[in-house]
C-alpha cells in the first residue's frame, strides 16, 4: 500500500514539474516573440500583400514560382536586424541594406523592423495585416495585435505610439452635389463607401472650399458662386472629420457672414481649422492637434485668390501665400509640432504637370521641416514625390464635389498617413471613383491600376525615375 502511495505521489510530482516547465516555456516564448518582421517594396509596385507561406519561403532561401514578380525581387535586410535574421534563418539570401534605402529600385524587397520603415517605400501587408491592424479589401482597418510573423530581438510593436491621419482632396458640397443629395433625400449616401476610412482614423482632414449658409438651394443664381446648405455640415461630422482646411477660393462667395458662421460651426463641433480664419491673424496661425504623444502642426495658404477670398485685418478668408509668410509659418510649425502638414491652394487645378512654383515651394517647405505637403486645389489625382524623404502630393483630386466631365475629374485618392514614435513611416493611397456627382466609391482591379498608372506617370523625383 505504501509503495502504491509513493508511486502516485511520484507521478503527481512529475506531472507538476512538467506543467511548471511548460508554463515557463510558454512565458519565455511570449516574452521573447519580438516585434513584427516587415516587408517593403517600391512605392509604385503592384504588390500589396504577402502570404505567410511566401514570406517563409523567402526567409528560408527557397525559390518558388507561384508569383513570378516576388521570385525576381532582390532581397535586402536592414542592417540593424540582419544578424538576427541570419541567425534565425541561415539560408536567407539577403544583402545588407545600404546607408541610403533603395527606394528608387523597382526590383527590391526590404526586410526590416518598424525602425527601418521609410515612407518612400510601400509596406506590404502580411496575410492582410499591418503591424497596427488588419485591413479589408475596402481599406477598413480593424485593430489587432495578431501580426503573423515576429522576430526575437526586434522591439515589440507599441500600439499607443502609432497614429493614422486620413487626408482628402476637394470638398465643395454645392451645385449638382446638392441637387443629387436632395433628389435621393439621404445625406448618408455620399459617405457610404468611405466613412469607415475617414471615421476610423485618429485624425481626418478635408479641404472644405464652400461655406455653409441657409437658404442655399439648387439651382444657384450664379453657378460659379458657391454655397453649401447649412444642414450639410452634418456630412462632415458624420464622416468623422477632425481638421478642416479653409484655404479655398469660394468660402467668401456669399459674403463674410456664411464664412464666419462656418467657422463657428467647426468650433462648436470641436473640430480644428487652418489655412483660413476669422481674420488675417487667425488664418495664418499654426494649428496644433495632439494625438497620443505626437503633436501635429497644420498650416495652409492660398496662392491666386481671388482677392475677395483672402483674409484681411477684420475680414474672414484664406491665408494669402507670400514667400515670407510661407517661410516663417513653416519654421514656426516645425518648432511646435513633431509632424508638420502643409497645404496650398495653387492656381494649378487641372494640369497634371506641376508648375515650377509648386515644386520650388514644396521643396523649400521640406527643407524647412514640413513632412506632408499637398496641393489642395487639384480637381484630379496628380503625381506624388518624395523630396528628401518627405511626402508631396501635387493633388489628391475631387472628393465631395460634382465634377463628372472626365474620368480624371471623377478619380481621386484618399491619403492615409501612418506615424510611429513621432515619425512618418507609411502613406497608403486609397483609390476611388465619384458617382452621381456626389459619391466617392472605392475601386479595385483595373480601375485602381489605371488610376495609379496615371498618377505614377506624373510622379516626380528619384523614386519614380525609370532607369
- pLDDT tens per residue, range 292-344: 999 999 999 999 999 999 999 999 999 999 999 999 999 999 999 999 999 99
Is it the case that residue 10 has pLDDT exceeding 60?
A: no
Q: Which residue has the higher pLDDT, 107 or 69?
A: 107
Tell me the C-alpha distance between 196 and 140, whole Å.
6
Is it the case that residue 18 has pLDDT exceeding 50?
A: no
- pLDDT tens per residue, range 216-234: 998 998 999 999 999 999 9
Q: Work out the mean pLDDT of the chain and round it to a whole number.
A: 92
- pLDDT tens per residue, range 300-313: 999 999 999 999 99
> What integer pLDDT is reported at residue 66 of this predicted model?
58
Provide the 10 A C-beta neighbour count for residue 206. Answer: 24
Running DSSP on this structure, what letter comes out for residue 275? S
Tell me the C-alpha distance between 372 and 297, whole Å.
10
Tell me the C-alpha distance between 122 and 167, whole Å.
18
Is it the case that residue 144 has pLDDT exceeding 90?
A: no
Is it the case that residue 376 has pLDDT exceeding 90?
A: yes
- pLDDT tens per residue, range 389-418: 999 999 999 999 999 999 999 999 999 999
> What integer pLDDT is reported at residue 454 of this predicted model?
98
CA 221 from chain centre, in angstroms, equals 38
With cut-offs at 50, 70 and 90, classify the pLDDT of residue 466: low
Is it the case that residue 370 has pLDDT exceeding 50?
A: yes
- pLDDT tens per residue, range 160-174: 999 999 999 999 999
> What integer pLDDT is reported at residue 22 of this predicted model?
37
> What integer pLDDT is reported at residue 27 of this predicted model?
35
Share of the chain above pLDDT 70, in %: 91
User: pTM here?
Assistant: 0.92
- pLDDT tens per residue, range 274-295: 999 999 999 999 999 999 999 9
Tell me the C-alpha distance between 200 and 84, whole Å.
35
Domains and CATH numbers, the chain: 36-157 (3.40.190), 161-464 (3.60.21.10)
Burial (CB count <10 Å: 0-12, 13-18, 19+), residue 418:
buried
Is it the case that residue 12 has pLDDT exceeding 70?
A: no
Q: Over range 420-424, report the average pLDDT.
A: 98
> What integer pLDDT is reported at residue 33 of this predicted model?
82
Amino acid at each position: 500500500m505504501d509503495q502504491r502511495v509513493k508511486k502516485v505521489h511520484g507521478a503527481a510530482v512529475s506531472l507538476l514539474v512538467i506543467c511548471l516547465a511548460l508554463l515557463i516555456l510558454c512565458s519565455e516564448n511570449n516574452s521573447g516573440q519580438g516585434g513584427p518582421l516587415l516587408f517593403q517594396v517600391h512605392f509604385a509596385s503592384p504588390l500589396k500583400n504577402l502570404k505567410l507561406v511566401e514570406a517563409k519561403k523567402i526567409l528560408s532561401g527557397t525559390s518558388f514560382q507561384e508569383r513570378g514578380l516576388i521570385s525576381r525581387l532582390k532581397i535586402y535586410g536592414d542592417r540593424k536586424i540582419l544578424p538576427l535574421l541570419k541567425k534565425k534563418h541561415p539560408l536567407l539570401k539577403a544583402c545588407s541594406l545600404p546607408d541610403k534605402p533603395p527606394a528608387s529600385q523597382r526590383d527590391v524587397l526590404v526586410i526590416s523592423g518598424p525602425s527601418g520603415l521609410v515612407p518612400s517605400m510601400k509596406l506590404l501587408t502580411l496575410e492582410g495585416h499591418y503591424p497596427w491592424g488588419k485591413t479589408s479589401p475596402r481599406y477598413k482597418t480593424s485593430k489587432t495585435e495578431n501580426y503573423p510573423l515576429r522576430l526575437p530581438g526586434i522591439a515589440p510593436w507599441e500600439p499607443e505610439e502609432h497614429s493614422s491621419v486620413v487626408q482628402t482632396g476637394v470638398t465643395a458640397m454645392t451645385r449638382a452635389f446638392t441637387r443629387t443629395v436632395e433628389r435621393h433625400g439621404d445625406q448618408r449616401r455620399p459617405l457610404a463607401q468611405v466613412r469607415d476610412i475617414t471615421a476610423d482614423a485618429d485624425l481626418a482632414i478635408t479641404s472644405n472650399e464652400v461655406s455653409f449658409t441657409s437658404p442655399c438651394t439648387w439651382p444657384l443664381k450664379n453657378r460659379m458662386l458657391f454655397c453649401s446648405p447649412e444642414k450639410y455640415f452634418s456630412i462632415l461630422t458624420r464622416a468623422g472629420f477632425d481638421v478642416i482646411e479653409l484655404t479655398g477660393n469660394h468660402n467668401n462667395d456669399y459674403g463674410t457672414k456664411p464664412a464666419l458662421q462656418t467657422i463657428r460651426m467647426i468650433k462648436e463641433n470641436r473640430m480644428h481649422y487652418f489655412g483660413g480664419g476669422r481674420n488675417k491673424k487667425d488664418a495664418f496661425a499654426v494649428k496644433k492637434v495632439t494625438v497620443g504623444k505626437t503633436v501635429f502642426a497644420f498650416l495652409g495658404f492660398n496662392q491666386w485668390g481671388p482677392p475677395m477670398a483672402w483674409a484681411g485685418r477684420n475680414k474672414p478668408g484664406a491665408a494669402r501665400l507670400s514667400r515670407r509668410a510661407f517661410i516663417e509659418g513653416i519654421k514656426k510649425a516645425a518648432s511646435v509640432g513633431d509632424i508638420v502638414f502643409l497645404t496650398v491652394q495653387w492656381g494649378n487645378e487641372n494640369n497634371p504637370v506641376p508648375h515650377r512654383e509648386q515644386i520650388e515651394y514644396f521643396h523649400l517647405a521640406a527643407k524647412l521641416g514640413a513632412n506632408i505637403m499637398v496641393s489642395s486645389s487639384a480637381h484630379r489625382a496628380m503625381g506624388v514625390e518624395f523630396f528628401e524623404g518627405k511626402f508631396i502630393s501635387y493633388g489628391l483630386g475631387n472628393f465631395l464635389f460634382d465634377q463628372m466631365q472626365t474620368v480624371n475629374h471623377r478619380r481621386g485618392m484618399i491619403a492615409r498617413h501612418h506615424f510611429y514614435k513621432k515619425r512618418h513611416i507609411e502613406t497608403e493611397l486609397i483609390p476611388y471613383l465619384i458617382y452621381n456627382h456626389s459619391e466617392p466609391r472605392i475601386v479595385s482591379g483595373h480601375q485602381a491600376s489605371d488610376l495609379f498608372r496615371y498618377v505614377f506617370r506624373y510622379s516626380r523625383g528619384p523614386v519614380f525615375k525609370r532607369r
